[in-house]
């Protein structure tokens, strides 16, 4: 079992937000610079960070979760109308049984798991992920791009008049949190403050909530999302109503996530790893039904609440046509040569193919 406590700092973004609205970032008070160092240190040493953003309220998250629970409770044949496999499932719904857990196909990860201590090992999935996911683009799209499938128009299900406003509102608020954290990380890394955010402009950012049917799959040990990293720049999670997310810190420690009320969890993705020449490693994580999940299922049953576990997750990306390569002094990092220059969109397509979301590769599993 993972450790009960999550030893991650909670960084209040408010002081940086307040300062940045008053000036162009030329001068930062020492206490704000210390917060920036805390952000960069946490991403480098643990791959994760808890933040508090006064612009992202618990009410916003609850409104989003309420709507997504109603959507995932709809019949499968209704949800499949929003399926877009020809667009690599990068907009609309991805049904359960489509996405392949990285740990089932990646021999490097499999070796890594074997070398872990038994109490740090992830749960090993035996099939494709039994979770649904909805992908919703957040923000403006580029007028021209080499990667049209990664920048397609959003899909809106019928019968949800509040859909677009709810998705855009919550998505844009979480993107704003990511942008502030990215600026603070850049300052902490002794880079120009817009080093990351300038590359994020018109990126294919995705609000990507998952829906896991606990009525059908709510048995201890069920793996909804097998051990994996995220292919994007930074991932941000609001609170879910059911526990089950485990993350691995850089030291190999397995930690059960407990996001405090009013906080958001940020994890480093593979694009950040690329831009820092491997100084920040992409955070590994999984979603599994635990004994705490079972307790929450029982409480939800007693209170007649939804038994769909919805994640409040947003994937922030580097723009598809930007060339990924180590930035500034990170070009001199010891492992920088492992991160050759390539388009962000090209990298994303390679990853999507590997996990069975891009049609050029079919993976047959149970």
| pLDDT tens readout for residues 291-348 | 999 999 999 999 999 999 999 999 999 999 999 999 999 999 999 999 999 999 999 8
> In this model, does residue 353 exceed pLDDT 80?
no
> In this model, does residue 143 exceed pLDDT 60?
yes
**Residue 20's pLDDT is what?**
83
> In this model, does residue 64 exceed pLDDT 60?
yes
Start-to-end C-alpha separation, the chain: 27
pLDDT band at 1 (very low <50, low <70, confident <90, very high): very low
Pairing mode of beta strands 312-316, 234-238: antiparallel
Parse the chain into domains and list their residue ranges: 10-354
**Residue 6's pLDDT is what?**
60
Lowest mean pLDDT segment, chosen from 102-111, 146-155, 327-336: 146-155
- Tens-digit pLDDT profile for residues 244-289: 999 998 888 898 888 888 899 999 999 999 999 999 999 999 999 9
> In this model, does residue 217 exceed pLDDT 60?
yes
Task: Average the pLDDT over 163-175 and give the result.
Answer: 97
Task: Average the pLDDT over 134-161 and give the result.
Answer: 84
pLDDT band at 55 (very low <50, low <70, confident <90, very high): very high
> In this model, does residue 69 exceed pLDDT 90?
yes
Task: Average the pLDDT over 81-106 and give the result.
Answer: 87
Average pLDDT along the chain: 89
Spell out the alpha helix ranges (H) of 189-290: 197-200, 214-217, 270-275
**Residue 365's pLDDT is what?**
27
Task: Average the pLDDT over 35-45 and give the result.
Answer: 95
Percent of the chain with pLDDT over 90: 68
The predicted model scores a pTM of 0.90
**Residue 25's pLDDT is what?**
52
- DSSP secondary structure letters along 103-145: HHH-HHHHHHHHTS-GGGPPPPP-SS---EEEEEE-SPPPSS-
pLDDT band at 34 (very low <50, low <70, confident <90, very high): very high
| Nearby residues of 343 by Cβ (< 8 Å), 6 or more positions away | 146, 147, 320, 321, 322, 323, 324
Residue 219: phi, psi to the nearest 5?
Answer: -115, 140
**CA-wise closest residue to 316 among 201, 195, 223, 217:** 201
Distance CA 48, CA 176 (A): 17
Residue 33, SS3? Answer: helix
Task: Average the pLDDT over 33-41 and give the result.
Answer: 96
Structure tokens at 309: 């576990």
Which DSSP helix (H) or strand (E) runs through 234?
strand 234-238
Pairing mode of beta strands 206-207, 132-137: antiparallel
**Residue 366's pLDDT is what?**
27
**Residue 259's pLDDT is what?**
86
Q: Which CATH fold would you assign to the domain 10-354?
A: Jelly Rolls (2.60.120)
């Amino acid at each position: 079992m993972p450790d009960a406590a999550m030893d991650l700092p909670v960084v209040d973004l408010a002081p940086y937000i307040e300062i940045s609205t008053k000036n162009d970032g030329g001068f930062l008070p020492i206490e704000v610079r210390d917060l920036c160092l805390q952000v960069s240190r946490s991403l480098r040493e643990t791959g994760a960070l808890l933040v508090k953003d006064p612009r992202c309220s618990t009410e916003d998250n609850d409104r989003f979760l309420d709507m997504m629970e109603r959507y995932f409770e709809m019949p499968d044949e209704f949800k499949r109308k929003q399926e877009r496999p020809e667009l690599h499932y990068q907009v609309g719904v991805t049904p359960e049984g489509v996405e392949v857990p990285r740990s089932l196909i990646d021999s490097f990860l499999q070796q890594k798991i074997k070398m872990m201590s038994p109490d740090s090992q992830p749960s090993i999935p035996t099939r494709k992920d039994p979770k649904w996911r909805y992908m919703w683009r957040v923000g403006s799209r580029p007028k021209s791009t080499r990667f049209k499938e990664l920048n397609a128009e959003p899909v809106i299900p019928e019968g949800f008049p509040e859909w677009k406003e709810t998705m855009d509102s919550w998505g844009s608020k979480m993107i704003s949190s990511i942008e502030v954290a990215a600026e603070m990380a850049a300052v902490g890394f002794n880079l120009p403050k817009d080093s990351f955010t300038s590359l994020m402009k018109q990126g294919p950012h995705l609000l990507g909530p998952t829906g896991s049917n606990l009525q059908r799959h709510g048995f201890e040990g069920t793996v909804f999302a097998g051990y994996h990293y995220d292919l994007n720049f930074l991932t941000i999670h609001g609170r879910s109503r059911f526990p089950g997310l485990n993350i691995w810190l850089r030291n190999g420690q397995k930690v059960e996530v407990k996001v405090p009320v009013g906080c958001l969890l940020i994890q480093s993705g593979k694009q950040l790893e690329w831009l820092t020449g491997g100084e920040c490693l992409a955070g590994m994580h999984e979603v599994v039904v635990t004994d705490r999940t079972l307790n929450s299922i029982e409480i939800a049953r007693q209170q007649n609440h939804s038994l769909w576990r919805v994640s409040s997750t947003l994937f922030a990306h580097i723009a598809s046509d930007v060339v990924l390569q180590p930035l500034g002094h990170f070009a001199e990092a010891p492992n920088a040569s492992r991160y050759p220059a390539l388009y962000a969109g090209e990298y994303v397509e390679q990853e999507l193919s590997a996990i069975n979301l891009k049609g050029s590769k079919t993976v047959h599993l149970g």
